[in-house]
A and B are shown apart, each in its own frame.
Chain A
Amino acid sequence: MKRTGKGMACMWYPIGFTVMANPSAAIVKVNTDGTATLLTGTVETGQGALTVLGQIAAETLGIGTDDVHVVSADTDTTPMDTGAIASRTTYVTGNAIVRAAEVARQLLFEAAAPLLNVKPDQLEARDRKIQVLGFPSRSLPIANVALYAESTVGRPALGSASYNPPTVDMDPETGQGKPFNTYVYATQIAEVEVDDETGEVEIKKIVAVHDCGQPINPMLVEGQIEGGISMGVGYALQEEILFDDTGKQINPNLTNYIMPTALDMPEIHVELVDNYDPTGPHGAKGVGEPTAVPTAAAIMNAIFDAVGVRITTLPATAERVMAAINEKNAQSA
């Protein structure tokens, strides 16, 4: 008979490398029509980095995402980047981009200030304009300022910068220190149905609430969470590389290494915690890895709620769950 259960798991996860320096650098160039180019050494591996980093540059310059062309991943032309690792791209590369864009923006402010009859520190960049803080009707289109800066003033609006999260090394005896500059938090809750005659677990629904600071692109954050959950589902119930006693893998192929297909994935409800991290680029933190962290635990807790068995070795295949149910029945008999 099929039994329903619910289980929750919460987690915390750091952004960036553990103590070690992991800088990223960025170059932002404003074109004479107010569009811009961003050069970043990071690599797009599917997570949407190039889109999000473009949005961060655009935000700092007060222009739209589509106005920024992102060039990436060429050691001849793009500045160094420690890499698309440890969920660090939005936060570390993003912070480098904010700083680089601010350098470029400052050149625009210095060019525009005399034209607007104010000091550079009275200006802001918004809605494709350089405008006066507190008096936005006095403004110039960013295109005009960029052209003026380059071809009249002779100081083109470009900027470069790097960023590295500040850490404190960990004591070798006690591990005490400050290994990361920020962390993210999340909770996932799973509803499962366990067939107590076969041990098969079906996931009916997962609710995921994640913190990523200010989401730069909510649609892409959701996509990361949904994808991470699919890895968590596989980790919980299906995936396992098996070795024989000579050290050879038994199932190095996708026929026998079982991972989630469209039929294995449940309804997923995603929400983000309303948050803003002042140490992050425009309040953002990161989300890439945290998404796959609590899923297996939530599912195991739900299995316990459904059939009263505690799986302590992953994955919770039907065989393992059935064996646990049989053992529990034998003990209570």
Chain B
Amino acid sequence: MATKPTKDVIDQKVGIQDTDNSLTGALRVKEDHPVIYPLSLPENDERQATPAVGQSATRSDARLHGLGQTQYIDDIKFPNMIYAKVLRSERAHAKIVSIDVSEAEAMPGVYATVTGKEFPTNSFGPTLQDQPVLADTVVRHFGDGVAAVAAVSEQVAQEALKKIKVVYEDLPVVLDPEEAFKDEILIHGPKSNTYASKVIKKGDVKKALAKADHVFTNRYKTQFVEHVPIEPHASIALWDGNGRVTLWSSLGRITLGREDISRTLDIPQSKVRMIGTIVGGNFGGKNEITNEPILALLSKKTGRPVKCTYTRGDEFVSSTIRHPFIMDYTTGINNDGKIVARKIRMLLDGGAYCSWTGTTIGKGSILAAGPYNIDNLQVESFAVYTNKTTTGAMRGFGAPQVCFAYESQMDEMAHALGIDPLTIRLKNTFREGSLSPTSQTLHSVVVEESLLQASEAFGWNRG
């Protein structure tokens, strides 16, 4: 019913001039020729109101979303645009002996190929720059990129990948983080597999645990999950005749993305332009570059705009995923429910490359004890390389993992001591001015308020 024009629409014979300029007056369109957008557009009061803060204003992109007019990267096309595909390793750990792209290059419809050694700086990463743009000596996880092809269509590019010959020498694979911790098989040798660690200590945990009425020891484990942004990663690169490269990318941080392009391709930042469109979901998975330097180099070699979008399979295998945590919590608590000491040891499965592990291990460790006043605390965390998909930034950076642990144990203790879960929390939570695990004075603290308000709204104490 919505696709039929309303009574206002008047059929117009081609060539008749419309003298009425008002938008709501004579809408001169042919019935079977839709306009690009409806001409009578509703206004939202909250967007007009002052003061602006506190208004439930409609989103500035909501209109175009609803009309299907928001331009995501994959909706953008340029004249002479070609398409790239990346060849990805089907081994979890192997030395690259040789890569032969000659047959792929010779295929009709293929414009260029690129391999890792063509990048002036073949590495990137927010803390440790241990991840190659394209692997050129070793592949460290199933899905690690080794070469790329730009061709007239996605199908031709996909076919061309099959013609790239890579000779591998298999290396032993280590998948279990506790195995990796032993350093018997090194993934980024000669470095230890333990590539990040964090310690937080205050008070005297040993003494306090010995004096506590009860000590609870529990292990909690979490799993690998994927962000699943509904829009897959996508980018387009255009290297123009002035030697300037423009990238349209679904990356969530374009300032740093420009720095990454500048560094990996060894060109000044003034020669790089990075544009972010509206992104179809990020959640942390689009906080790191993926194909951008590859497309930039392919565009330089071909003189054409080059686009590449991840398939849904690529999203799982070749974009970052959430760190699984193995968490051991030992907590000393007294009969009245007051926590007196907490000792935490955590092991993070750090995947094939570092990516955002530094932030995850840091935040996870700081938050691990929970929003509770604990004077005697020790947190020790480690992250290890394994030959699996890179673990990186994902909504919460370790917080969902540790919250699962500290709130599960809180309920364990509550149950064992016969104390209501709400009561035990209120006994221990931060207040305004409390000291955090790192001895920071906290302000604007409302955890108690949130507990009470939620309990009231839920009806916690009603039966």
What is A's interface to B at a CB cutoff of 8 Å? 6-14, 17-19, 41, 43-46, 48, 50-51, 54-56, 58-59, 62-66, 70, 72-76, 80-86, 126-128, 168, 170, 172-180, 182-183, 185-189, 191, 205, 207-211, 213-220, 228, 231-232, 234-235, 239-241, 243, 245-249, 251-254, 257, 259, 269, 271, 273-279, 282-285, 288-290, 292-298, 300-301, 304, 310, 312-315
The docked-state distance in angstroms from the alpha carbon of A59 to that of B51 is: 6
The 5 closest A-B pairs by CB, nearest first: A83-B253, A247-B92, A73-B276, A175-B200, A252-B316
Measured between beta carbons, the chain A residues less than 8 angstroms from B218 are: 312
Taking CB as reference atom, which chain A residue is nearest B256?
A83
Check if B396 sits within 8 Å of A289, measured CB to CB.
yes
Measured between beta carbons, the chain A residues less than 8 angstroms from B129 are: none
Check if B407 sits within 8 Å of A10, measured CB to CB.
yes
The answer to whether residues A282 and B397 also contact, given A183-B442, A185-B447, A187-B451 and a CB cut-off of 8 A, is: no
The answer to whether residues A234 and B225 also contact, given A75-B272, A76-B273, A289-B397 and a CB cut-off of 8 A, is: yes
Measured between beta carbons, the chain A residues less than 8 angstroms from B408 are: 297, 300-301, 310, 312
Check if A271 sits within 8 Å of B366, measured CB to CB.
no
Check if B279 sits within 8 Å of A259, measured CB to CB.
no
Q: How far, in Å, is B443 (CB) from chain A's closest CB?
A: 7
Check if A45 sits within 8 Å of B282, measured CB to CB.
yes
Measured between beta carbons, the chain B residues less than 8 angstroms from A9 are: 403, 407
Choose from B46, B53, B90, B175 the contact partner of A59 (Cβ within 8 Å).
B53
User: Is B370 positioned at the interface, with any CB of A under 8 Å from its CB?
Assistant: yes
Check if B400 sits within 8 Å of A84, measured CB to CB.
no
User: Is B97 positioned at the interface, with any CB of A under 8 Å from its CB?
Assistant: no
Check if B255 sits within 8 Å of A83, measured CB to CB.
yes
Taking CB as reference atom, which chain B residue is nearest A308?
B415
Measured between beta carbons, the chain B residues less than 8 angstroms from A45 are: 252, 279, 281-282, 286
Check if B422 sits within 8 Å of A8, measured CB to CB.
yes
Q: What's the interface size class on B, roughly?
A: 35 or more
Check if A62 sits within 8 Å of B50, measured CB to CB.
yes
Measured between beta carbons, the chain B residues less than 8 angstroms from A301 are: 407-408, 411, 421
Choose from B57, B272, B411, B430 the contact partner of A304 (Cβ within 8 Å).
B411
Most buried by A among B269, B403, B421: B403
Choose from A214, A232, A304 the contact partner of B54 (Cβ within 8 Å).
A214
Measured between beta carbons, the chain B residues less than 8 angstroms from A86 are: 359, 397
Measured between beta carbons, the chain A residues less than 8 angstroms from B395 are: 228, 231, 288-289, 292
Check if B47 sits within 8 Å of A64, measured CB to CB.
yes
Check if A293 sits within 8 Å of B396, measured CB to CB.
yes
Chosen A-B contacts, 11 in total, with CB atoms closer than 8 Å, are A6-B460, A7-B421, A10-B370, A12-B370, A75-B272, A83-B254, A211-B449, A219-B56, A252-B316, A289-B396, A315-B223
User: Is B48 positioned at the interface, with any CB of A under 8 Å from its CB?
Assistant: yes
Interface 9-residue window, one of B11-19, B188-196, B385-393 = B385-393
Check if B92 sits within 8 Å of A209, measured CB to CB.
no
Q: How far, in Å, is B196 (CB) from chain A's closest CB?
A: 12
Check if A75 sits within 8 Å of B258, measured CB to CB.
yes
Check if B141 sits within 8 Å of A208, measured CB to CB.
no
Most buried by A among B55, B429, B444, B454: B454
Check if B403 sits within 8 Å of A185, measured CB to CB.
no
Measured between beta carbons, the chain B residues less than 8 angstroms from A254 are: 228, 312
Choose from A58, A178, A297 the contact partner of B403 (Cβ within 8 Å).
A297
